[in-house]
Structure 1
Amino acid sequence: MARPPRFDTSQLLDAAVRLAAESGPSGVTMSAVAAAVGAPSGSLYHRFPGRSALLAEVWLRTVEGFQEGYFEALESSDDPRTGARAAARHIVAWSRTHPQEAALLLYGSHDFGHDDWPDEHLLRAEDGNMRVRAAMAALAGALGIHGRPGLDRVTLAVIDLPLSLVRRHLRGGSPLPAHAEDLAEQCTGALLADD
């Protein structure tokens, strides 16, 4: 009977997230992740064919984990404005409870070597992007906001604005203030108020 692996994939990815939060994507190397968990390098190569696959999985696992709660919040009410405010709150609340992952998301997928990702990871990334675009279009339609300027307004309200609040504090090394969720919700609500 084969013995179970000593280091599972989630442990390795957790270590990679910590390295990315501390040193940026350049700090995520196969040897650095192995050293961080005390694993032989072979443990990583057994799970990831190379650094590009590791970087892709670190990025996608983080984004997908964030998006799961984000879409739940967005769809939490029959009233689209209530859902939009909940989604804005989620961005701040998730960042507060997942500071390392939030710091990782201050970068973009291209910082994590997007152009070199294996096809399966590129497809996952595009599926996620399409889901976001579809959600923004559906929200705009539910709000009766039409055209490119309307879609930009919705995206600003439920993505860009709450992210900018988080980004300022993460980049400045200061904790998010206790009222950050309320502030994000209020700003989103104001931007999406009836014309």
Structure 2
Amino acid sequence: MARPPRFETPQLLDAAVSLAAESGPAGVTMSAVAAAVGAPSGSLYHRFAGRSALLAEVWLRTVEGFQEGYFKALESSNDPRAGGRAAARHVVAWSRTHPREAALLLYGAHEFGRDDWSDEHLRRANEGNMRVRASLAALAGALGVHGTESLDRVSLAVVDAPLSLVRRHLRGGTPLPPHAEELAEECAEALLNF
């Protein structure tokens, strides 16, 4: 009977997230992740085809984890404004609960080597991006507004403004203030009041 692996994939990805939060994508190397968990490098190469696959998995696992709650928040109410407020709040609340992952997401997919990702990783990334765009368009439609300017305003309300609040504190090394979620909701409410 085969012996269970000593180092599980989630443990390796958690170490990679920590390295990315501390040193950016450049800090996520196969040897650095192996050293962080005390694993032989072969443990990583057994699970990931190379560094680009590791970076893709780190990015996608983080984004997909964030998006799961984001979409639930956005669809949490029959009132589109309430869903928009909940989504804006989720951006801040998730970042407060997952500061390492939030720091990682301050970078972009291209900084995590998107140009070298496999077709499967690109498919996952593209599906997530399309779902975000579709959800923002659906929110705009539910609010009865259409066009590029309206979609930009919806995006600002439920994506850009809450991310800006998070980014300022994460990049500045200061904790999110206790009232950050309320600020994100208030901004969303004001912007979604067409």
Give the TM interval when normalised to the shorter protein. Answer: over 0.9
In structure 1, C-alpha distance between the alignment counterparts of 2:40 and 2:145, rounded to whole Å = 54
Q: Which runs of 5+ in 2 are unaligned?
A: none
Deviation at 1:176, TM superposition (A): 0.1
Describe the SS at the equivalent of 1:77. Answer: coil
1:183 corresponding residue in structure 2:
183
Residues 1:39 and 2:39 aligned together: yes
Under a length normalisation based on structure 1, what TM-score does the superposition of the two structures give? 0.99
RMSD: 0.4
2:82 corresponding residue in structure 1:
82
In structure 2, C-alpha distance between the alignment counterparts of 1:148 and 1:13, rounded to whole Å = 38
In structure 1, C-alpha distance between the alignment counterparts of 2:176 and 2:98, rounded to whole Å = 12
Residues 1:143 and 2:123 aligned together: no
Deviation at 1:145, TM superposition (A): 1.2
1:73-112 pair list within 5 angstroms: 73-112=73-112
Describe the SS at the equivalent of 1:4. Answer: coil
* CA displacement, residues 55-83 of structure 1 (integer Å, 9 cap, x when unaligned): 00000000000000000000000000000
* CA displacement, residues 93-130 of structure 1 (integer Å, 9 cap, x when unaligned): 00000000000000000000000001100000000000
Q: Which runs of 4+ in 1 moved over 6 A?
A: none
Deviation at 1:38, TM superposition (A): 0.3
**In the alignment, residue 11 of structure 1 is paired with which amino acid?**
Q
Residues 1:153 and 2:172 aligned together: no
Under a length normalisation based on structure 2, what TM-score does the superposition of the two structures give? 0.99
**In the alignment, residue 65 of structure 1 is paired with which amino acid?**
G
Deviation at 1:10, TM superposition (A): 0.1
2:7 corresponding residue in structure 1:
7
In structure 2, C-alpha distance between the alignment counterparts of 1:91 and 1:133, rounded to whole Å = 16
Describe the SS at the equivalent of 2:2. Answer: coil
Residues 1:164 and 2:164 aligned together: yes
In structure 2, C-alpha distance between the alignment counterparts of 1:122 and 1:109, rounded to whole Å = 10
In structure 1, C-alpha distance between the alignment counterparts of 2:132 and 2:192, rounded to whole Å = 18
Q: Which runs of 5+ in 1 are unaligned?
A: none
Describe the SS at the equivalent of 1:14. Answer: helix
In structure 2, C-alpha distance between the alignment counterparts of 1:148 and 1:89, rounded to whole Å = 24
**In the alignment, residue 127 of structure 2 is paired with which amino acid?**
D
1:30 corresponding residue in structure 2:
30
Deviation at 1:35, TM superposition (A): 0.3
Describe the SS at the equivalent of 2:126. Answer: helix
**In the alignment, residue 55 of structure 1 is paired with which amino acid?**
L
Describe the SS at the equivalent of 2:77. Answer: coil
Residues 1:132 and 2:129 aligned together: no
Percent sequence identity over aligned pairs: 82
In structure 2, C-alpha distance between the alignment counterparts of 1:50 and 1:118, rounded to whole Å = 11
**In the alignment, residue 168 of structure 1 is paired with which amino acid?**
R
